[in-house]
Amino acid sequence: MIRRLGPDDVDYPAGLCDLEASPRVHLMGTTATGPGVAVVGTRRCTGYGLGLGRAFGAAIAEAGWSTISGLARGIDAAAHHGCLAAGGHAAAVLGSGVDVCYPVENRSLYDQILASGGAILSEYPPGTPPDKWRFPERNRIIAAMAAAVVVVEAAERGGALITARLAAEIGRPVFVVPGDVDRVASVGCNRLIKDGAHPVLGAEDLVSELELVIGPRRAAAPNGRHIPETGCDIETLAITWGLTLAETLVEVGRLELEGVVGRVGDMIVPR
């Protein structure tokens, strides 16, 4: 189901009010109830960057915040994956209509975001094709929705730098991973640091820094397994927890017997 949200809707992402003429957005899925952090970076990233993106996504999710990114290949996808694996809320802001999955290779990611109770958002009406010129425009939505922006890897020019600049303009703190001075995928990052962005030294460091911006992280769930606020079915939980179905059933049953989670239909929800 696609909904169109304006500033008056309760689940309109509050950060967008900081933009001039707060844009209406189209939504599939559910927006986060708490704050979110954007993790962005180049599509032409290194394996090192992918690993960091994933770790950041997971760390942010475990802290109880939503992970926002753009569903692009590379860093974006890694951050989404990390977030889902930790059972967090993932929000993807598209440069096409919400019903147009681009790039196509991220289709299963797109499905998992929806299935796990995440959000797919876009400023553009359903059916809008992914035109190149829309992506910089889309980046201002990512910047505004987030309480902070993390740039994992960025070349000298590119979307991630645009996101970082737009974020700084509306007063969002920008965190950047420093890299080798001669590595193409880190030139943009290092430049941002020189211009005054905060360097981050790993996932734990990132979360500590973010706590200063957003507030304290969520306490870990009893056994470290997170269930999204919006609920999640057992098979998806197995995927995001990285467990077999049998193990997942036992874990879910334990949480149910403790009264920590309940059911709404086939969805497991925190109580």
| Residue numbers at the binding site for other proteins (CB under 8 A) | 1, 28-29, 108, 111, 114-115, 233-236, 238-239, 244-246, 248-254, 256-257, 259, 263, 265-267
Closest to other proteins by CB, 96 vs 163, is: 96
Closest to other proteins by CB, 205 vs 229, is: 229
- Rounded to the nearest angstrom, the gap between the alpha carbon of residue 70 and the centroid of all alpha carbons in its chain is 8
Closest to other proteins by CB, 29 vs 173, is: 29
Q: Which single residue is written with the structure tokens 């600049």?
A: 165
Q: How far is the CB of 221 from other proteins (least distance, A)?
A: 16
| Rounded Cα–Cα distance for residues 173 and 167 (Å) | 7
Q: How far is the CB of 161 from other proteins (least distance, A)?
A: 34
Token pair recorded at residue 25: 């957005």
**What is the strand order of the sheet 174-176 is part of?**
2-5, 25-29, 119-122, 90-94, 66-69, 36-40, 148-151, 174-176, 198-199
Q: How far is the CB of 245 from other proteins (least distance, A)?
A: 5
Q: How far is the CB of 96 from other proteins (least distance, A)?
A: 18
Of 216, 80, 87, the closest CA to residue 142 belongs to 80
Closest to other proteins by CB, 98 vs 149, is: 98
Closest to other proteins by CB, 28 vs 210, is: 28
Neighbours of 123 (CB within 10 A): 20
Q: How far is the CB of 233 from other proteins (least distance, A)?
A: 7
Maximum Cα interatomic distance, the chain, rounded to a whole number of Å: 55
